């Protein structure tokens, strides 16, 4: 249950919300010392005088009820005068700002009541009533004395039967009865019987040509096993006696610790588990290996082989292979597919292994290469990027001989180390970059070039991320958050979608957000030209880019910056707050305690891997959240009908007599075809454009006129240059369409004299469709067959308008039903669009 809050509703008054509009005050009491008051409008002043429920109070409170309330001066129950009418009180779920009581997943009272039963059963698992009885194999003198710690409901077996059963499960621990000490003792697979080994190459069986077993350390999630293994020595097609040993291990699902004479191996399941544990939990490999040692021997963990150093190298290499496979590079993603001239992602860098945002617009990937979008709608195709620095992902000075190399060097989110070192030597923090235009004290601007923490080889990283909080690039900071490194991060992020660069027709200038943008933008082009003189595409994009200061950081700047660089003062920018780069730090910061102790190469690899997991999770969430939320909502909407639907046949049937939904396009094509067929049958009939096509053009022109008139009204209230540019563009298009429409009009109204077209205000030109002429008492046609022509024109327009209206109504109906279902489902979920089940659990596929 959520903590309750008391709600007091006060009598209506004319408050500060609006003059002459009745309001009432509601005070929320979350505890004895905290209270919050809100003043709200009285919406329904004429409704019934029933006492409202607590959730109806803000909307449906009525004057009859308000008359029974205490005076507006009483704001809490404790302040009410003696003998006054008690204020209306009720309890409601606490809002998001107040504390919550955590629900008990397992009821402790129930568990505590059965404590004796739990203890009895758990103790009974350490003994088996079949101990030392004849084994089920029926062979004489074989008794049951070996159990298994990993098999559920495992049967006690004789040693030989246990080995036969576990030939393909050699990492299960054997519980062997110690007759001397009278307890079950944990042993490895090879210790169950003499000469027992793990056989490779024959589905768990020992190879007939195998050498004697070799000692081997096998690491699994249940511990580190000191075991024995025998390799296959069958003669191969090339005359060799068995495949190379590391290949045999891989085929058996064991990742070798080395290529030459491997003596250590890791199950693929263990490596997958550790990858996910590190990506999500940020735990250190050192602690993870110690856990594995204790899983093998809880009391003498120091006697278990320590594979920490080898484990670090293998986990890095394994995840690199995993990313290569997942990104498609193992299948030749960087070369064109058969029969195609371009590779699948023509503007991505070669061997780029990272994940980019699927929701951000990318020309040629999730949108056409060339799009014509009005300027007032440019936010639909704009790429919004944010920059921010992080000093917790730093690197301590370590004794590094330089032999370690980054497997992801220049292939993911960090740039090439060689290029970074060259740029780090060249850039200089100028005094001009340290000046804040608004004279406010902005630390990231003033402290450029200064070391924030001692004993650090790298102060941290600068990240560039999109407005969906998906990381695009990272650049190491040597000393402080230098602007040159921020420009470097911009370039690396943009390079992921501009390699090779787009042409002028397909280039997409970005919108940047940075807490120091007011100073950062002053020498932006100069820095880009100095650091990357050959990247003309970058200089072009930056010269056309727009910028702002994030919504939260803007408060630290002066009045001048707040007036110039605040997002709300820019057109098509209100929903881009610019703080999304901060979101990724909550995920990355716990990893900093481990990565700061690594070598520089290992640090780059691990950060790349972990943030790639973050990006992948975000992209999957983007793809799954909306459809699963809509599906769940629709399922709840029609839950009562599922039983009837389930009894219907699932076979698809097509009925020619069934109702069909005709679109305006289909109806128009049918009418035009009928008219042309009629004209061909009539001898001597003058060829002309179909009437239906002309009426459809007129309806389209009417819609354009309505749009221009609406934009003019908006421009009069809020004059904007973007709005006026859009109006001008629409008027030019409207003049062309009107000219074509009036030419068709002369063919229908033979004696009609048209006035000159007002090209300055084409939205005021009358569109003389049949409906317009009938409204103003004019004849539709003037000819010998005027009566028949009148009827034909009327019927054609009525048919087109009815079809257009029906399409619109059905579209609104479908959207309304889907939206209603989703909103109903959202009432059960804290996450919009993701419904919960009856037990309060979200869909497991939606994070």
d(CA 140, CA 70): 94
Tell me: do 72 and 144 sit in the same domain.
Answer: no
Q: Which residue range forms the structural domain that includes residue 28?
A: 4-93
Instruction: Find the mean pLDDT for residues 351-372.
Output: 90
Q: Are 405 and 601 in contact (CB under 8 A)?
A: yes
DSSP state, residue 130: T
d(CA 268, CA 219): 10
pLDDT in tens, 493-528: 999 999 999 988 888 889 999 998 988 998 999 999
CA 211 to chain centre: 53
pLDDT of residue 660: 55
CA-CA-CA-CA torsion for 54, 60, 62, 67, nearest 10 degrees?
20
Tell me: do 318 and 355 sit in the same domain.
Answer: no
pLDDT of residue 269: 96
Q: Are 483 and 475 in contact (CB under 8 A)?
A: no
Task: Kindly give, in sequence order, each residue whose CB lies less than 8 Å from that of residue 524, ignoring residues fewer than 6 positions away.
Answer: 487, 542
Written as one string, the DSSP assignment of 20-81 is T-EEEEEEEESSSS-EEEEEEE---SSS--PPPPTTTHHHH--HHHHHTSPPTT--SGGGPP
d(CA 403, CA 397): 16
Instruction: Find the mean pLDDT for residues 27-51.
Output: 51
Structural domain count of the chain: 4
Q: Which two tokens stand for residue 236?
A: 């191969």
d(CA 386, CA 713): 35
Tell me: do 531 and 451 sit in the same domain.
Answer: yes
Instruction: Please identify which residue in the block is written with the tokens 């070799």.
Output: 214
Tell me: do 317 and 413 sit in the same domain.
Answer: no
Whole-model pTM: value is: 0.68
pLDDT of residue 630: 79
pLDDT of 41 over the 70 cut: no
Contacts 24+ apart (CB under 8 A), 307-314: 307/217, 307/219, 307/224, 307/257, 307/264, 310/257, 310/258, 310/264, 311/219, 311/266, 311/285, 312/285, 312/602, 314/255, 314/257, 314/266, 314/271
Q: Residue 98: inside a domain, yes or no? A: no
Provide the CB-side half-sphere exposure for 99 (13 A, CA). 5
pLDDT band at 462 (very low <50, low <70, confident <90, very high): very high
Q: Residue 660: inside a domain, yes or no? A: no
pLDDT of 252 over the 50 cut: yes
Integer angstrom CA distances of residue 238 from 242, 243, 344, 439, 660: 10, 10, 38, 77, 67
Instruction: Find the mean pLDDT for residues 279-303.
Output: 94
Higher pLDDT, 818 or 736: 736
pLDDT of residue 57: 37
Q: Are 834 and 842 in contact (CB under 8 A)?
A: yes
Higher pLDDT, 796 or 250: 250
pLDDT band at 784 (very low <50, low <70, confident <90, very high): very low
Task: Kindly give, in sequence order, each residue whose CB lies less than 8 Å from that of residue 821, ignoring residues fewer than 6 positions away.
Answer: 630, 633, 634, 636, 637
pLDDT in tens, 404-444: 899 999 999 999 999 999 998 888 777 777 777 777 766 66
Tell me: do 250 and 379 sit in the same domain.
Answer: no
End position of a domain, from candidates 768, 783, 812: 768
pLDDT of residue 29: 54
pLDDT band at 538 (very low <50, low <70, confident <90, very high): very high
pLDDT of 833 over the 50 cut: no
User: Taking the CB of residue 5, how many other CB atoms lie within 10 A of it?
Assistant: 21
pLDDT of 542 over the 90 cut: yes
Higher pLDDT, 537 or 690: 537
Q: Which two tokens stand for residue 624?
A: 């799954």
Q: Residue 151: inside a domain, yes or no? A: yes
Higher pLDDT, 490 or 790: 490
Q: Are 156 and 128 in contact (CB under 8 A)?
A: yes
Tell me: do 34 and 81 sit in the same domain.
Answer: yes
End position of a domain, from candidates 735, 768, 801: 768
Written as one string, the DSSP assignment of 149-202 is SSSTTPPPB-HHHHHHHTTT-TTSPEEEEETTTTEEEEE-GGGSSTT--EE-SS
Check the CA dihedral 414-420-424-428 and report its sign: negative
Q: Which two tokens stand for residue 338?
A: 């058969």
pLDDT of residue 244: 94
φ, ψ dihedrals at 50, nearest 5°: -85, 150
End position of a domain, from candidates 292, 326, 360: 326
Tell me: do 29 and 136 sit in the same domain.
Answer: no
Give the range with max mean pLDDT: 22-36, 45-59, 69-83, 394-408: 394-408
DSSP state, residue 135: P
Tell me: do 397 and 528 sit in the same domain.
Answer: yes
Q: Residue 112: inside a domain, yes or no? A: no
CA-CA-CA-CA torsion for 164, 167, 173, 175, nearest 10 degrees?
10
Give the range with max mean pLDDT: 537-551, 569-583, 743-757: 537-551
Among 228-232, 348-352, 480-484, which stretch is predicted with the lowest mean pLDDT? 480-484
Q: H-helix or E-strand containing 422? A: helix 417-426
Instruction: Find the mean pLDDT for residues 313-338.
Output: 93
Tell me: do 316 and 385 sit in the same domain.
Answer: no
User: Taking the CB of residue 532, how many other CB atoms lie within 10 A of it?
Assistant: 18
pLDDT of residue 23: 57
Tell me: do 411 and 515 sit in the same domain.
Answer: yes
pLDDT of 689 over the 70 cut: no
Among 41-50, 419-428, 660-669, which stretch is predicted with the lowest mean pLDDT? 41-50
Q: Residue 820: inside a domain, yes or no? A: no
User: Taking the CB of residue 234, how many other CB atoms lie within 10 A of it?
Assistant: 14
φ, ψ dihedrals at 510, nearest 5°: -85, 170
pLDDT in tens, 166-201: 999 999 999 999 999 999 999 999 999 999 999 999
Higher pLDDT, 670 or 493: 493
Give the range with max mean pLDDT: 557-566, 611-620, 721-730, 764-773: 611-620
CA 1 to chain centre: 31
pLDDT in tens, 464-492: 999 999 999 999 998 878 899 999 999 99
Among 59-68, 96-105, 249-258, 522-531, which stretch is predicted with the lowest mean pLDDT? 59-68
Tell me: do 355 and 301 sit in the same domain.
Answer: no
**Burial of residue 500 (number of CB atoms within 10 Å: 0-12, 13-18, 19+):** exposed
Tell me: do 423 and 560 sit in the same domain.
Answer: yes
pLDDT band at 727 (very low <50, low <70, confident <90, very high): very high
Q: Which two tokens stand for residue 393?
A: 């992902």
User: Taking the CB of residue 52, how many other CB atoms lie within 10 A of it?
Assistant: 19
Which residues, listed in sequence order, are joined to residue 215 by a DSSP beta bridge? 228
The whole-chain average pLDDT of the chain stands at 82
pLDDT of 6 over the 60 cut: no
Q: Residue 835: inside a domain, yes or no? A: no
pLDDT in tens, 379-413: 888 999 999 999 999 999 988 887 889 999 999 99
Instruction: Find the mean pLDDT for residues 816-841.
Output: 57
pLDDT band at 71 (very low <50, low <70, confident <90, very high): very low
Instruction: Please identify which residue in the block is written with the tokens 């001989």.
Output: 401
Q: Which two tokens stand for residue 740?
A: 């074509």
pLDDT of residue 48: 42
pLDDT in tens, 818-827: 777 666 666 5
pLDDT in tens, 603-645: 999 999 999 999 999 999 888 887 887 787 777 777 888 888 8
* Sequence-ordered alpha helix ranges (H) in 764-842: 770-775, 786-826
Q: Which two tokens stand for residue 267?
A: 């199950």
pLDDT of 2 over the 60 cut: no
Q: Residue 804: inside a domain, yes or no? A: no
Q: Residue 183: inside a domain, yes or no? A: yes
């Amino acid at each position: 249950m959520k903590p309750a809050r008391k709600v007091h509703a006060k009598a209506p008054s004319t408050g500060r919300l609006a003059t002459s509009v009745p309001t009432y005050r509601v005070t929320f009491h979350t505890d004895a010392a905290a209270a919050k008051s809100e003043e709200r409008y009285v919406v329904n002043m004429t409704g019934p005088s029933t006492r409202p429920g607590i959730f109806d109070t803000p909307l449906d409170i009525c004057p009859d009820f308000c008359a029974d309330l205490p005076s507006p001066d009483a704001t809490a129950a404790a302040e009410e005068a003696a003998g006054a009418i008690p204020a209306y009180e009720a309890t409601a779920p606490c809002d998001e700002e107040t504390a919550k009581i955590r629900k008990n997943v397992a009821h402790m009272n129930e568990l505590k009541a059965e404590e004796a039963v739990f203890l009895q059963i758990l103790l009974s698992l350490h003994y088996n009533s079949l101990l030392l009885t004849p084994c089920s194999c029926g062979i004489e003198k074989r008794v049951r004395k070996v159990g298994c710690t990993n098999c559920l409901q495992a049967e006690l077996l004789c040693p030989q039967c246990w080995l036969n059963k576990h030939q393909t499960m050699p990492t299960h621990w054997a519980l062997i009865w110690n007759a001397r000490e009278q307890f079950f003792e944990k042993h490895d697979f090879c210790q169950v019987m003499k000469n027992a080994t793990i056989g490779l190459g024959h589905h768990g069986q020992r190879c007939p040509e195998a050498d004697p077993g070799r000692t081997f350390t096998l690491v699994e999630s249940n511990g580190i096993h000191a075991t024995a293994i025998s390799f296959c020595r069958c003669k191969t097609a090339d005359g060799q006696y068995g495949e190379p040993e590391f290949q045999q291990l891989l085929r058996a699902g064991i990742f070798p610790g080395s290529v030459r004479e491997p003596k250590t191996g890791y199950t693929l399941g263990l490596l997958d588990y550790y990858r996910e544990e590190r990506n999500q939990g940020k735990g250190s490999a050192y602690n993870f290996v110690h856990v594995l040692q204790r899983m093998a021997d809880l009391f003498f963990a120091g006697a278990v082989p320590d594979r920490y150093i080898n484990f670090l190298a293998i986990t890095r290499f394994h995840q690199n292979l995993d990313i290569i496979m997942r990104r498609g590079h193992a299948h030749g993603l960087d070369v064109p597919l058969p029969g195609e001239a371009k590779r699948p992602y023509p503007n991505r860098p070669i061997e780029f292994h990272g994940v980019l945002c699927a929701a951000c617009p990318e020309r040629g990937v999730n949108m056409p290469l060339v799009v014509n979008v009005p300027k007032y709608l440019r936010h639909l195709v704009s790429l919004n990027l944010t920059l921010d620095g992080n000093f917790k992902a730093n690197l301590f000075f370590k004794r590094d001989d330089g032999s370690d190399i980054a497997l992801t060097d220049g292939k993911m989110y960090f740039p090439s180390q060689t290029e970074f070192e060259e740029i780090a030597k060249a850039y200089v923090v100028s005094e001009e970059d340290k000046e804040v235009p608004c004279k406010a004290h902005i630390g990231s601007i003033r402290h450029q070039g200064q070391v924030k923490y001692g004993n650090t080889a790298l102060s941290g990283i600068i990240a560039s991320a999109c407005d969906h909080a998906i990381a695009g690039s990272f650049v190491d900071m040597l000393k402080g958050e230098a602007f040159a490194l921020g420009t470097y991060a911009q370039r690396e992020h943009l390079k992921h979608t501009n390699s090779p660069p787009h042409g002028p027709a397909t280039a997409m200038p970005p919108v940047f957000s940075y807490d120091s943008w007011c100073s950062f933008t002053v020498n932006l082009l100069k820095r880009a030209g100095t650091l990357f003189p050959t990247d003309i595409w970058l200089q072009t994009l930056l010269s056309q880019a727009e910028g702002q200061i994030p919504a939260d950081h803007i408060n630290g700047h002066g009045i001048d910056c707040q007036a110039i660089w605040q997002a709300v003062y820019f057109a098509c920018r209100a929903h881009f707050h610019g703080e999304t780069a901060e979101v990724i730090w909550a995920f990355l910061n716990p990893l900093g305690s481990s990565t700061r102790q690594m070598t520089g190469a290992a640090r780059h690899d691990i950060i790349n891997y972990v943030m790639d997991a973050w990006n992948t999770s975000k992209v999957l969430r983007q793809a799954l959240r909306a459809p699963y939320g809509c599906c769940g909502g629709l399922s709840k909407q029609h839950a009562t009908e599922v039983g009837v639907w389930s009894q219907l046949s699932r076979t698809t049937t097509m009925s020619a007599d069934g109702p069909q939904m005709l679109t305006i396009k289909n109806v128009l094509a049918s009418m035009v075809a009928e008219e042309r067929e009629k004209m061909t049958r009539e001898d001597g009939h003058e060829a002309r454009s179909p009437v239906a096509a002309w009426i459809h053009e007129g309806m389209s022109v009417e819609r354009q006129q309505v749009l221009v008139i609406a934009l003019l009204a908006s421009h009069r209230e809020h004059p904007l240059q973007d709005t006026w540019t859009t109006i001008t563009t629409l008027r030019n298009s409207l003049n062309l369409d009107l000219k074509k429409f009036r030419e068709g009009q002369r063919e229908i109204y033979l004696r009609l004299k048209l006035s000159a077209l007002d090209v300055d205000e084409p939205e005021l030109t009358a569109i003389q469709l049949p409906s317009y002429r009938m409204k103003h008492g004019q004849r539709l046609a003037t000819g010998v067959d005027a009566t028949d022509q009148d009827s034909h024109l009327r019927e054609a327009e009525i048919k087109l308008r009815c079809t257009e209206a029906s399409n619109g109504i059905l579209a609104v109906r479908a959207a309304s039903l889907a939206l209603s279902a989703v909103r109903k489902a959202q009432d059960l979920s804290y996450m919009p669009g993701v419904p919960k089940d009856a037990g309060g659990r979200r869909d497991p596929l939606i994070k």
